[in-house]
Amino acid sequence: MSNRKTADTSPSDQAATVSRRGFLKLAGASSLATAAGSLSSMARAANGTPDGTPEQIHLTWGNDPTREVTVSWASLAQAVKPQVRFGRTGETKTTVPGVQSTYTDGLNGEVVFTYHARLHGLMGDTHYEYEVSADNDSNAAQPFTASFRTAPRGRAPFRWTSYGDLATPNTGWVLSSPQSRFAVHAVERFEPLFHLLNGDLCYANLNPTHQPDVWRDFGNNCQTSAAKRPWMPCPGNHEVEFHNGEQGLSSYLARYTLPENHTRFQGRWYSFRVSSVLFISLDADDVVYQDAAAFVAGPNPLVPAASTGNPPIQPGTSFYIRGYSGGEQTRWLEKTLRHAAEEDEVDWIVVQMHQDALSSSKTGNGSDKGIREAWLPLFDRYGVDLVLCGHDHDYERSYPVRGCNHNKGTDIATGRVVDTLQPRPVAPAAAGATSFDTSHGTIHLILGGGGTSAPLDVYGVDLGTGLPQARIFTRPNRPAPGATAGTFARASADAVEDAIWSAQRDTGTGYGIAVFDHDPGQPGGHTTITMNYYHAPGADQTPTQNYELFETIELKKKRRE
């Protein structure tokens, strides 16, 4: 069965380009689209007839990381009897069948086959070996093999890493870069128990008629790490794709089996606990004002393959999904945080999402009042310690913040005072401080330095106050008519404020990885999380495997008993 559709090379084939604000502009067939399609076709031809050979293999935690891991993968054709065999070294292996999950890409009509095998009844802090195969696996004689370690039981030290905005190393795709390969290698360099991937995984929706191929490149690049340790993602604006499900997340949801949230929106948000750290993953697309998902700028419509039966998408159309859960995600978040506050075995709460509540990026996106309204009051009330984001392709760290100042923003167009809900640093917020008690306030980290080809986002400039400026979205951001007839552009952030909460920014490079080491401490004492941020100097010009230490901070608080 061929997975290359005629729509890929038809006159209506369209390439994607992206502005620094992340909106999508579609034009007629171009050399970029032709090159990307040719590269992918040659790769498929080299593999022979598509079959059930597993690829894009990755791990995720189950509901209990000490006992449950899911192995997920894809194949170019439907697999026959897909399975995982696993066990401890030297022991008889247990066979678990892979459960198939498919979708048909809503733009090019390609059927995508993914598989998931949930491994239950594991022992904590234990190494397991596994192999993935199928009856029609062309490598069945030497199946894919790897190993992983489960989370420890009870309070124990562990390490995790994090970044967002990864993309792929295939430069035929928009916003991809060879640095993506080095970013995956960086995870392996630090050997964490697991990795948090903070949204905008591969940017497939910027390559609309080649979405499955972009996802494939992304998955095979990540496999070198994600097959050895869980990679726990959250959706970003570039996971939202036209004609791919209710929220445009079919590509994402088909590939990841994630902890249960017991709502009808499974996979969009979830939580899990390792040691005394509760991790909460959110979909900020549900609350942000900024509209930055799939978007047709024109001047021509985006025409799906005839096999899909989907109509052309007209210029000026965007896939704006703010409010899609009707508040269910926020209610789930409050319930989860409330239970954590009542649980003596939870010392720390770490939230990951893609978009930012606190970012002073000038040429990127900036901050979003939608997150400040919906979730920051809950973070304050229940004592969230860390919020990890991507979205802006840089590194920025806030002081611990709690509460907000009102009417401290300025409307960019009119100059009038607006309420941006400016986050308030807790006192004392000494410049240069490296140790923080987060029981008094939440630290926000922008970790958008995975592997995209976008240049370093430039930070806001001082407008006479002696402080950097932050751009804020304070109202729904719908597409607005552009200056060129027949095309459309998204509105920019509408307000600015003094970034009194900004403590540290990397102005040298947009690429880096955060490494977190958790020490549970001793009864009656303190517990700590040490964060080392490593950046890749020069990677904005030339991809590099050289990641160097940029800064170290320590979070410290009284251990609960």
pLDDT score of 10 more than 50: no
User: b or e along 169-179 (b: 16 or more beta carbons within 10 Å of the residue's beta carbon)?
Assistant: bbbbbbbbbbb
pLDDT score of 486 more than 90: no
Helical residues (DSSP H) of 392-435, grouped into ranges:
none
Which long-range contacts link 42-48 to residues 24+ away (Cβ below 8 Å)?
A: 44/3, 44/4, 44/76, 47/76, 48/138
pLDDT score of 15 more than 90: no
Note the pLDDT tens digit of each residue in 540-558: 999 999 999 999 999 999 9
* 151: its two tokens: 């989370």
State the pLDDT confidence band at 288, using cuts at 50, 70 and 90.
Answer: very high
| Mean pLDDT along residues 6-18 | 29
Tell me if residue 101 falls in helix, strand or coil.
Answer: strand
Mean pLDDT of the chain: 89
Q: Which of 14-23, 166-175, 332-341 has the lowest mean pLDDT?
A: 14-23
pLDDT score of 142 more than 90: yes
Q: Which of 86-90, 155-159, 379-383, 515-519 has the lowest mean pLDDT?
A: 86-90
Three-class HEC string of 485-552? CCCEEECCCCEEEECCCEEEECCCCCCEEEEEEEECCCCCCEEEEEEEEEECCCCCCCCCCCCEEEEE
CB 201 within 8 A of CB 233: yes
| Mean pLDDT along residues 82-110 | 96
pLDDT score of 100 more than 60: yes
Note the pLDDT tens digit of each residue in 30-54: 222 222 222 233 233 345 799 999 9
pLDDT score of 65 more than 60: yes
The packing angle between helices 179-190 and 211-226, to 10°, is: 30
| Mean pLDDT along residues 357-370 | 94
The packing angle between helices 211-226 and 31-46, to 10°, is: 60
* 372 φψ region: left (φ > 0), alpha (ψ -120 to 50), beta (else): alpha
Name the residue ranges covered by the structural domains of the chain: 6-558
pLDDT at 456: 82
| Mean pLDDT along residues 495-515 | 95
pLDDT at 64: 98
Q: How many CB atoms lie within 10 A of CB 77?
A: 17
Select from 459, 453, 498 the least CA-distant residue to 183.
453
pLDDT at 478: 72
pLDDT score of 430 more than 80: no
pLDDT at 186: 98
Q: Which of 220-229, 337-346, 480-489 has the lowest mean pLDDT?
A: 480-489
pLDDT score of 144 more than 50: yes
State the pLDDT confidence band at 428, using cuts at 50, 70 and 90.
Answer: low
pLDDT at 20: 28
Options 1.10.150.20, 3.40.190.80, 3.30.450.40, 3.60.21.10; CATH for 6-558 is 3.60.21.10
Q: Is the pTM of this model over 0.85?
A: yes
% of the chain exceeding 90 in pLDDT? 81
pLDDT at 16: 33
| Mean pLDDT along residues 344-352 | 97
Note the pLDDT tens digit of each residue in 179-196: 999 999 999 999 999 999
User: What is the tally of helices (H) and strands (E) in the chain?
Assistant: 7, 33
For residues 457 and 367, give the distance between their C-alpha atoms in angstroms, rounded to a whole number. Answer: 13
Tell me if residue 250 falls in helix, strand or coil.
Answer: helix
